[in-house]
Amino acid sequence: MRFSIGQIAAMVGPCEIRGEFSGDIVAIAPIDSAKEGDISFLANGKYCKFVEKSHASAIILPPTYLGHPPSGSVYLVVDDPSLAINALCEEIGMELGETANPSIDPTSSIAATASIHPTSSVGPFCAIGHGVTVGERCSIGSHCSIGRNCAIGNDVILHPHVTLYGHCTIGNGCIIHSGAVIGCDGYGYASGPEGHKKLAHVGRVRLGDCVEIGANCAIDRARFAETTIGDGSKLDNLIQIGHNVSVGRNCLLVAQCGIAGSTKVGDGVVIAGQAGLAGHIDIGSGTMVAAQCGVPSDLPAKSTVRGTPAMNIGEANRFYVLRKRMPELFRRVDRLEKRLGEESS
């Protein structure tokens, strides 16, 4: 990369420029290790102490930062430094990325009944089944497998090694990262004296528009009807979504969380890393579930919970404070019991 301060200011949007720097910006770097020619940013207040010491030639800062840069460097003050640096990263990504020429690699196997829009591309060694439809401007990476009768919308990106079982629907603008498996059978068995009989899963998976699925996620098809992920929801890596689960719009699901079958998650819910939700429960819209939380039952809208089993955040915080004092409390009780025993004897 090589950009002038004027070019960067145009990319990041409305900003106040403090100081002067006449050279080119050639790299993005963390604020505590940046050097001359680098640009950095401050989005987390805990790194504020590094701003004055930084050797970066340009730093993107929030309006709350009132300082001025040293000679020969620039501060760009914007409403949201994180979004501003992201705009710069997107511009760099466009420059570095190869121009995608719509094409189908000859090593891929495409069913005669599949329909792929001429503006879309299919990479090497893909398998695309009977009745599949692929919309406009899609990119299907190498070694992807798309089962029969899947429907893929416009502007979808499937990174290499994505697997879509049959009858899945992928909305417009979705991104699915490598190793994700969409539409595998749910975990359902009928146990009896002769063992565990597998239950047929004949439903499907439907992703709304602008959904992102992280690497190595697994989203099970419904036993009947649909497993659904709502518009705008974002799933991190290594997440398990059980059969017949419904995830609402604009939810954030963080790495290694899991949702058991037939649970309904409302809109705007945040589920932090390694949290687990039991099956057949309802999670109200706007709820926040803390990391490693275990949720066994329904939660009303706008709940904030922590712990296993899940507790209201205030109650949970008090519990964890008291838990640290338990060893000393037991010692005090032992001393009291000993003293009472000596007095009674």
Regarding whether 264 and 175 lie in a shared domain, the answer is: yes
Regarding whether 299 and 206 lie in a shared domain, the answer is: yes
Q: Answer yes or no: is 69 within a domain.
A: yes
Regarding whether 300 and 216 lie in a shared domain, the answer is: yes
Regarding whether 198 and 75 lie in a shared domain, the answer is: no
- For residue 137, what are the contacts with CB-CB under 8 A and spacing of at least 6? 117, 119, 120, 154, 155
Regarding whether 180 and 74 lie in a shared domain, the answer is: no
Regarding whether 171 and 71 lie in a shared domain, the answer is: no
Q: Answer yes or no: is 63 within a domain.
A: yes
| Measured CA distances, 214 to 131, 149, 161, 281, 309 (Å) | 26, 23, 12, 24, 27
Q: Answer yes or no: is 123 within a domain.
A: no
Instruction: Determine the Cα–Cα distance for residues 264 and 227; give it in Å rounded to an integer.
Output: 10
Regarding whether 268 and 178 lie in a shared domain, the answer is: yes
Regarding whether 174 and 56 lie in a shared domain, the answer is: no
What is the model's pLDDT at position 337?
87
Query: Among 75, 96, 117, which residue terminates a domain?
Result: 96
Query: Among 60, 80, 96, which residue terminates a domain?
Result: 96
What is the model's pLDDT at position 34?
95
* Counted domains in the chain: 2
Regarding whether 184 and 270 lie in a shared domain, the answer is: yes
Regarding whether 305 and 170 lie in a shared domain, the answer is: yes
Radius of gyration of the chain (CA): 27
Distance of alpha carbon 122 from its chain centroid, rounded? Answer: 25
What is the model's pLDDT at position 326?
87
Q: Answer yes or no: is 30 within a domain.
A: yes
User: Domain range holding 272?
Assistant: 162-309
Q: DSSP letter string over 280-330?
A: S-EE-TT-EE-TT-EE-S-B-TT-EEETTTTEEHHHHHHHHHHHHHHHHHH
Q: Of 68, 159, 243, 280, which one is the catalytic site residue? A: 243
Regarding whether 179 and 256 lie in a shared domain, the answer is: yes
Query: How long, in residues, is the chain?
Result: 345
What is the model's pLDDT at position 96?
61
pTM of the model: 0.87
283 touches 268 (CB < 8 A): no
Write out the two tokens for 302. Answer: 């706008």
Q: Answer yes or no: is 151 within a domain.
A: no
243 assigned to active site = yes
User: Which ranges of the chain have pLDDT less than 70?
Assistant: 95-100, 345
Give strand pairing partners of 16: 77
Q: Answer yes or no: is 141 within a domain.
A: no
